[in-house]
Amino acid sequence: MKPLPIRASATASLLALSLLLSAPVTPLFAAVPIPDGVAAQDPAGFGPLDPAPPTGMTPQQIIDKFAARESVFNQARQNYTFRQTVKVDTLAEDTNRVDGEYQQVTDITFSQAGKREEHVVFAPQNTLQRVMMSPADFQDIEHRLPFVLTTEDLPQYDITYLGRQHIDELDTYVFSAAPKVLEKNKRYFQGKVWVDQQDFQIVLVNGKSVPDDKRKGHEDLSPPYTTYYEQIDGKYWFPTYTKAEGNLHFAGGDGFLSQDVHLVTVVKYSDYKQFHATARIIYNGEDITDKKAPEDNKQQPPPAKPPQNP
């Protein structure tokens, strides 16, 4: 999230608006040691964290197993259509009311040729006045808020087993994840991951996208977030709801004013449906997929041949 530039000759009213400060915010829940001093706090209703080693498997075996499962899920999710609803609000300090908003509803679908497509179905006027959406924000919404930790991703992260925890009706393994190296122009997840003990899939994440760009005049900041997952089709756990909330401190400089912005982002992923490719039969330029041949013209299929011995 980037601050909007304001000219040095701005009116007093604009200056007052840009300097609105928000009170400290408690994240949806922050059970994660994350950057910038966000406090650690377990939410009500969660069982205590049991740091005892797992039984029957080593932590590394659990990591390898759930990462392999995540790889399978990551491929499966590419074959699902869904609706993505994004709402980004800035809140005024004195009233805690929304003083700027960005919304967009997008359907992720497939063309008849099976190509993945995005169709914006709702996009009211953007009224954000103190910050603007950056390319990193859109990339986070697509790739990091619905976090997936695959076998291919493991070499990029330090994964540490923290224990076991009961969440609602689920028994989970809890891990911390942090990037080993911050490569230029790449973004990573840093925080905690909860993995279902039965399905070996991520069911909850809490953390932050890193790194933030804190260069004066180039600041691009993001708040901590929590993503919840639900089981779809009885097979996979899909991300369905993300909430990010926090105070973003922009130091200012190079045409930007110093300000703190209280930001709340909610992303919903809904209406998951598996895409089934369909084949059409075209004969002499006519689509005859659903037409049946007359009985007197119907040809019998050739008999099956036994496999040839090598």
State pLDDT tens for residues 246-301.
999 988 766 667 889 999 999 999 999 998 755 454 545 665 444 444 444 444 33
Please tell me the predicted confidence (pLDDT) of residue 215: 85
For residue 31, which of 22, 21, 43, 19 has the smallest C-alpha distance? Answer: 43
Please tell me the predicted confidence (pLDDT) of residue 3: 64
Residue ranges of the chain with per-residue pLDDT less than 50: 6-41, 279, 281, 283, 288-310
Please tell me the predicted confidence (pLDDT) of residue 4: 65
Q: What is the pTM of this model?
A: 0.76
State pLDDT tens for residues 91-107.
998 999 999 999 999 99
Please tell me the predicted confidence (pLDDT) of residue 19: 27
Please tell me the predicted confidence (pLDDT) of residue 88: 97
Six token digits for residue 295 = 């009985």
